[in-house]
């Protein structure tokens, strides 16, 4: 019998195996397609994600939405994450999606708990007076929100028209295929007539 150079019992319980992995829970903005189509601009919602890494192995990295099993499996890490979790946004377009806002401005606004263009558009004037350039950013966010609101119905109609065009193309292809089948069935069989002659 051959002896192993590791403790076989480490593989018998998940808890002991989990002690050797790096686990990090974090919040990731995920686009909501239905709300984005209705609003005419990208709308994101915060979603909990987990990253699981095996130390020393750069190719074995798992990043996915958090499951109930993850919460139970890595209870201590999840509790720490929830304890240190910052205030979450209720949804909207993250400031990072606006090309006219710099990364440093995004970080400054995040410190003030302004994380979306919708929040920026309604920030109070008293806050704007304390931070240079914030009035300009607020006005631009307002204009973008108003423009997107006006465009939203047209974007929905355009998307519906594209879906309809795709369906019509598929139906036309089916009709053409069926017409070819019917034509081949109606065509006189010349080989049978030639044999009778």
The number of beta carbons lying within 10 Å of the beta carbon of residue 98 is 19
pLDDT tens string 158-183: 888 899 999 999 999 999 999 999 98
Cβ atoms of 148 and 38 within 8 Å: the answer is: no
For 109-126, b where at least 16 C-beta lie within 10 A, e where not — what string?
beeeebbbbbbbbebeee
Q: pLDDT of 36-63, one tens digit each?
A: 888 777 888 889 999 988 655 667 788 9
Q: Are 130 and 155 in contact (CB under 8 A)?
A: no
Decide: pTM greater than 0.85. Answer: no
CB 43 within 8 A of CB 93: yes
């Amino acid at each position: 019998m051959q002896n192993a150079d590791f403790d076989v019992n480490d593989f018998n319980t998940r808890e002991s195996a989990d002690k050797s992995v790096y686990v990090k829970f974090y919040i990731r903005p995920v686009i909501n397609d239905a709300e984005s189509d209705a609003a005419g601009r990208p709308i994101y919602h915060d979603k909990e994600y987990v990253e699981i890494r095996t130390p020393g192995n750069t190719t074995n990295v798992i990043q996915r939405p958090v499951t109930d099993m993850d919460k139970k499996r890595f209870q201590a890490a999840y509790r720490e994450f929830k304890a240190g979790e910052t205030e979450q946004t209720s949804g909207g377009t993250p400031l990072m999606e606006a090309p006219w806002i710099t990364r440093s401005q995004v970080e400054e606004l995040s410190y003030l708990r302004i994380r979306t263009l919708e929040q920026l558009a309604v920030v109070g004037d008293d806050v704007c007076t304390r931070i240079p350039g914030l009035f300009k950013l607020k006005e631009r966010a307002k204009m973008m929100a108003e423009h997107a609101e006006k465009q939203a119905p047209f974007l929905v109609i355009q998307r519906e028209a594209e879906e309809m065009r795709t369906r019509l193309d598929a139906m036309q292809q089916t009709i053409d295929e069926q017409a070819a089948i019917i034509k081949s069935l109606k065509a006189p069989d010349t080989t049978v007539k030639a044999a009778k002659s």
